[in-house]
Structure 1
Amino acid sequence: MRWYWAICCRFFPCEPREKFTSKTFLIMALVYKLLSGSYTLRKCPKPHVALCPLLDTRFADYCSSSLQKPEAAPGKASSQKTEEGLQEHQQREVALDITSPEEKPEVSFDKAIKDEIKDHFRHLKDDIVNHWMGPDCRPLHEVLLEQARVVWKFRGKEDLDKWIVTSDKTIGGRSEVFLQMGKNNRSALLYGTLSSEVPQDGESGRSGYCAMVSRIPRGPFETKKSYDWSHFNTLCLRVRGDGRPWMVSIREDTDIIQRKNQMHSYFMFTRGGPYWQDIQIPFSKFFFSNQGRIRDAQYQLLLDRISSIGFTLADKVDGPFFLEIDFIGVFTDPAHTEEFAYENSPELNPRLFK
């Protein structure tokens, strides 16, 4: 009973011990329920002095404060839930950062195919519009009266991407060739080392060449396109070389079979020194060759179906070389009236005389 008297003296210090008997039952009941934890925040409201006349104000405050202590548990639980929610949210953010498109891009083949098809249809639309509006969206009379046209120029890396370089390394040779932008990004520099050493493979009988070939232009859905030079009669170039002779080759785009070994070629002679030179080659001078050999039967170059142009070095002089190109174009020379520089006979080319 010591705890009982301690509680009574704590809350009723001014009253004599004889009067505690009238409050014994109520105090013991309240203390019992407090200790047993039967009062909760929802079921036990704050006691009021007017409702409990036998209780002192301090006891009511104590009961209210003691009964409100379990309120901390839901608060702690809510705070814990809040902290757990914040932690979960942070974890979600971290997960999102980990799976961000920069580090792990989402790959969708369907989307890639749809985008590719859209691009091709966009190019097809542009080609149709250009066809109705005229070449390069210009009136037809301007195109017919055009005297000169720059087909290839070198002013940036995107211009170099239109070309391919190759050498005898493809058959085991030792020649090397490189293509890069020239000084101030105003030209293309083709350089390397030529080696005529034949590879020891038992198959190759000759070697020693380096070449630079333009890529075939592509239209929508990877269809091949061609250049129409039928309104011009001369090829013009602005180059600067080291004195070596180059072979300029032009390929046609045929409808039936594209024979890569058949082409029309002519020689381009460069001079050494720091000065640029303007080279003009009439299309009538280009001769027909197959696999590097000049054919007896000659055919005129079809200027309305030009596929690509290339430059080949194969002069059998080992050592370094370079060729710098400013632009490649076509123009109309009114003084040149020759149509074809090579003769044909019925024995050599019967199809031309039917």
Structure 2
Amino acid sequence: MASIHKLLTGTCLHRNFLKPRAALHPFVGIHSADCSSSNPQKQVAPADRGSQQRKTEEGMQKHHHQEAAVDVTSPDKKPELSFDKAIRDEAMEHFRRLKDEIVAHMIGPEGRPLQEVLMEQARVVWQFRKKEDLDKWIVTSDKTIGGRSEIFLKLSKNNQSALLYGTLSSEAPQDGESSQSGYCAMISRIPRGAFERKLSYDWSQFNTLYLRVRGDGRPWMVNIKQDTEFIQRKSQMYSYFMFTRGGPYWQEVKIPFSKFFYSNHGRIRDDQRPLIVDKISSIGFTLADKVDGPFFLEIDFIGVFTDPAHTEEFAYEKSALISRLIK
């Protein structure tokens, strides 16, 4: 009987030490929850109770530290890296993308029915609603040649447009070679398919470039590059002007593809040729009006559409003699 009485008393004390007394009886008091009150012959001294509680808490903390030590990874152990696994995963990802391209091509562009695509009159190619939309573009300036112009691209406050802003400086770099400077540009990245293949945009069923912008009154050069050669020359492009009105109101800019003129290294070529709109690789915007100071251009979307009233095929004279001389 004595051993049973000691076992019951020890169990009650251990249970009381593990639970906070103030949480059990916040109004009655700490000593009112003592199980030893039912056994007046076996009273525990307050000092002994405090020392035993401290030992119990130290034991719990030691046990907690042991569990934490088990979960912590040793700094000497490094995660296993498998070069073969990385190559295999990369190849599987490219094959998955290739399969998606084939399926999309059989069903229709972007998974839509082919007849629906052929009947559409307008298409939004780029819009700016999230950070991933900005990642499709590159901004550059004359800083690449030592100039002082700066350009930045970010989303607007309401995440409904892109804000292109910066400072234009026509001060030539002090390198002893360059005599002109002062340009900022925004260029779309060339789309890539499986195995990093270059893709292109097919706008053959449209005849007009369509933009919704809001600027500060500066003129911008709109540049389109076509991918029709095995080795695409970076200096060759088609260009036309976009004049912003300034002010708080949006404006819709419509530029027919027939108005774009052929240029090389920023100079208009004598041998003009129409833009081939079924092999478009990228589009860009360049500011180089030689007016120093801040600028901004806000873009809602960039797309293409069909204008039934526009029947012009090419706005510039094509000379067969000039073409033969140049070739």
* 1:139–1:351 CA distance, 2 compared to 1 (3 A): farther
**TM-score (normalised: structure 1):** 0.71
**What is the SS of the residue equivalent to 2:239?**
strand
2:134 to 133, 146, 160: 160
Alignment-derived partner of residue 249 in structure 1: 223
Amino acid aligned to 1:134: G
Residue segments in structure 2 that go unaligned for 5+ positions in a row: 1-62
Residue segments in structure 1 that go unaligned for 5+ positions in a row: 1-86
C-alpha RMSD over aligned residues: 2.1
1:190 to 141, 150, 164: 164
Amino acid aligned to 2:190: I
Amino acid aligned to 1:295: R
Alignment-derived partner of residue 318 in structure 1: 292
1:96 offset after TM fit, Å?
A: 5.7
Alignment-derived partner of residue 97 in structure 1: 72
Bigger Rg, which one: 1
Please give the alpha-carbon distance, in whole angstroms, between the structure 1 residues aligned to 2:263 and 2:151: 24
**What is the SS of the residue equivalent to 1:317?**
coil
1:350 offset after TM fit, Å?
A: 3.5
Aligned length: 262
Q: Are residue 288 (structure 1) and residue 262 (structure 2) matched? A: yes
**What is the SS of the residue equivalent to 1:110?**
helix
Please give the alpha-carbon distance, in whole angstroms, between the structure 2 residues aligned to 1:144 and 1:351: 40
Amino acid aligned to 1:315: D
Alignment-derived partner of residue 273 in structure 1: 247
- Equivalent runs, 1:74-89 vs 2, <5 Å: none
**Greater Cα shift, 140-149 or 154-163:** 140-149
1:261 offset after TM fit, Å?
A: 0.4
- Equivalent runs, 1:133-282 vs 2, <5 Å: 133-282=107-256
Please give the alpha-carbon distance, in whole angstroms, between the structure 2 residues aligned to 1:189 and 1:109: 41
Please give the alpha-carbon distance, in whole angstroms, between the structure 2 residues aligned to 1:247 and 1:255: 24
Please give the alpha-carbon distance, in whole angstroms, between the structure 2 residues aligned to 1:260 and 1:95: 58
**What is the SS of the residue equivalent to 1:129?**
helix
1:116 offset after TM fit, Å?
A: 1.1
Alignment-derived partner of residue 48 in structure 2: none
* 1:351–1:306 CA distance, 2 compared to 1 (3 A): farther
Amino acid aligned to 2:317: E
1:345 offset after TM fit, Å?
A: 1.3
**What is the SS of the residue equivalent to 2:158?**
helix
Please give the alpha-carbon distance, in whole angstroms, between the structure 1 residues aligned to 2:200 and 2:69: 54
**What is the SS of the residue equivalent to 1:229?**
coil
1:222 offset after TM fit, Å?
A: 0.4
Alignment-derived partner of residue 300 in structure 1: 274
Q: Are residue 110 (structure 1) and residue 73 (structure 2) matched? A: no
Deviations 1:301-350 (A, max 9, x none): 11000000000000000000000000000000000000000001122123
Deviations 1:119-157 (A, max 9, x none): 100000001101111212222221111100000000000
1:109 offset after TM fit, Å?
A: 2.4
Please give the alpha-carbon distance, in whole angstroms, between the structure 1 residues aligned to 2:157 and 2:255: 26
Please give the alpha-carbon distance, in whole angstroms, between the structure 2 residues aligned to 1:348 and 1:161: 41
Amino acid aligned to 2:137: W
Identical columns (%):
74
**What is the SS of the residue equivalent to 1:202?**
coil
Alignment-derived partner of residue 19 in structure 2: none
**What is the SS of the residue equivalent to 1:128?**
helix
1:256 offset after TM fit, Å?
A: 1.4
1:110 offset after TM fit, Å?
A: 2.2
**TM-score (normalised: structure 2):** 0.77
Q: Are residue 129 (structure 1) and residue 103 (structure 2) matched? A: yes
1:228 offset after TM fit, Å?
A: 0.3
**What is the SS of the residue equivalent to 2:87?**
helix
Please give the alpha-carbon distance, in whole angstroms, between the structure 2 residues aligned to 1:146 and 1:229: 12
1:95 offset after TM fit, Å?
A: 6.3
**What is the SS of the residue equivalent to 2:102?**
helix
